[in-house]
């Protein structure tokens, strides 16, 4: 399926605030927009809430933060996608799962 560009206009202050909220959630604005479209289609409506107020008790976000801390401690938090895929491939080869 081909990708298509979707654009819309919003005021600059709203765009900046949306980016800041997304960054606190650990995603970028483009990812958020893709999530919205995918979930809107799959649920046939607006199905979810991602609120900063909920983050301290959200198990998924807590797990992501812990994973980020562990990754930073091990010096691999800035790996590129190609580097990650190479690590996975090497591990699979070493374990005989390829």
In angstroms, the CA 35 to CA 38 distance is 5
Q: Model confidence at 65, in pLDDT bands (50, 70, 90)?
A: confident
pLDDT at residue 68 greater than cutoff 60: yes
The tens digit of pLDDT for each residue in 17-57 reads 999 999 998 899 999 999 889 888 988 887 776 666 666 67
pLDDT at residue 13 greater than cutoff 90: yes
Name residues whose C-beta falls within 8 Å of residue 24's C-beta, 6 or more positions apart in sequence: 52, 55
CA distances from 31 to 22, 34, 43 (A): 9, 5, 18
Q: What is the mean pLDDT of the chain?
A: 83
First-residue to last-residue Cα distance in the chain = 28
In angstroms, the CA 61 to CA 58 distance is 5
Sign of the alpha-carbon dihedral angle for 20, 25, 31, 37 = negative
The helix (run of H) or strand (run of E) holding residue 21 is helix 12-25
Q: Which residue has the tokens 């994973």?
A: 67
Q: Model confidence at 11, in pLDDT bands (50, 70, 90)?
A: very high
């Amino acid at each position: 399926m081909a990708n298509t560009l979707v654009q819309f206009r919003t005021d600059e202050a709203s765009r900046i605030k949306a980016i800041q909220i997304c960054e606190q959630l650990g995603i970028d604005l483009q990812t958020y927009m893709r999530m919205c479209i995918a979930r809107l289609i799959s649920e046939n409506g607006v199905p979810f809430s991602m609120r900063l107020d909920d983050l301290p008790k959200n198990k998924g976000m807590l797990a992501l933060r812990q994973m980020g801390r562990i990754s930073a401690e091990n010096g691999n938090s800035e790996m590129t996608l190609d580097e990650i895929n190479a690590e996975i491939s090497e591990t699979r080869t070493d374990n005989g799962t390829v």
